[in-house]
Amino acid sequence: MPNQPLSFDDDRLERTISIPAGHVTLEGTLGVPSRPTGVVLVAHGSGSSRFSPRNRYVARAFRDAGLATLLLDLLSRGEEEVDEITRHHRFDIPMLADRLVVAIDWLTSNDQTHDLPVGLFGASTGGGAALVAAAQRPARVSAVVSRGGRPDLAADALPRVEAPTLLIVGGRDAVVIDLNEQARDRMRAEVQIEIVDGATHLFEEPGALEEVARLARDWFLSHLHHAVRAADGSTP
């Protein structure tokens, strides 16, 4: 399938939202196209934010395909400032996963997204957190995609993940490929690894991010659509 050009005129669809999470308030950007067929919660990774050009690019691809998106900062502003120095919070997978669960529950209660199947898209350490959250909300999470992620950090949660999972890794990211293969071998759900030839960890090479967007988009469209049909009684 040839890469489709992504539109950049849908920023008007987005709005900033706030989600209480214990003693902090998380900020996110919610984008809802006309008649969405699902919603993808985008969890950034180490040292990134919801304004990451990479994650925003992929989110636009999802919205172009009719999927709503929630790009979420998993750390408060104060925590981000501390993390820039200590780099501790970004590897606190249980805390990050708990906050993803809060966001999943928020999507369930939000008028625009409450009846939509949920997909999780995690980058770097966000990939590990997404898998832990999926294990904690199996009835709500219908698909997971990890981009250059650390699914190994999900540890004992891996066998409990029920959602079909796609692990996307750069072909030149040898250490992360090995970690993803180890994680795959511990999982019981449907899981697939896609290697993007010539790409490094951040997928900055020409065409690499477009391939990530295509793979993730197609995975979500397939599995979220299946979830809708199952909920409607259209599948056995």
Tens digits of per-residue pLDDT, 35-74? Answer: 999 999 998 765 556 777 888 999 999 999 999 999 998 8
Q: Other C-beta atoms within 10 Å of 60: how many?
A: 21
CATH topology of domain 23-231: Rossmann fold (3.40.50)
For residue 88, give Cα distances in angstroms to 47, 123, 129, 130.
Answer: 11, 17, 14, 18
| Longest Cα separation, the chain | 52
Question: Considering the chain, what percentage of its residues have pLDDT values greater than 70?
Answer: 82
* 3-class SS letters over 41-91: EEECCCCCCCCCHHHHHHHHHHHHCCEEEEEECCCCHHHHHHHHHHCCHHH
- Alpha carbon of residue 116 to chain centroid: 15
Q: Where are the domains of the chain?
A: 23-231
What pLDDT shows up at residue 3?
A: 37
For 97-144, what is each residue's pLDDT tens digit? Answer: 999 999 999 999 999 999 999 999 999 889 999 999 999 999 999 999
> What's the confidence (pLDDT) of residue 45?
61
Top-confidence residue, 23 or 7: 23
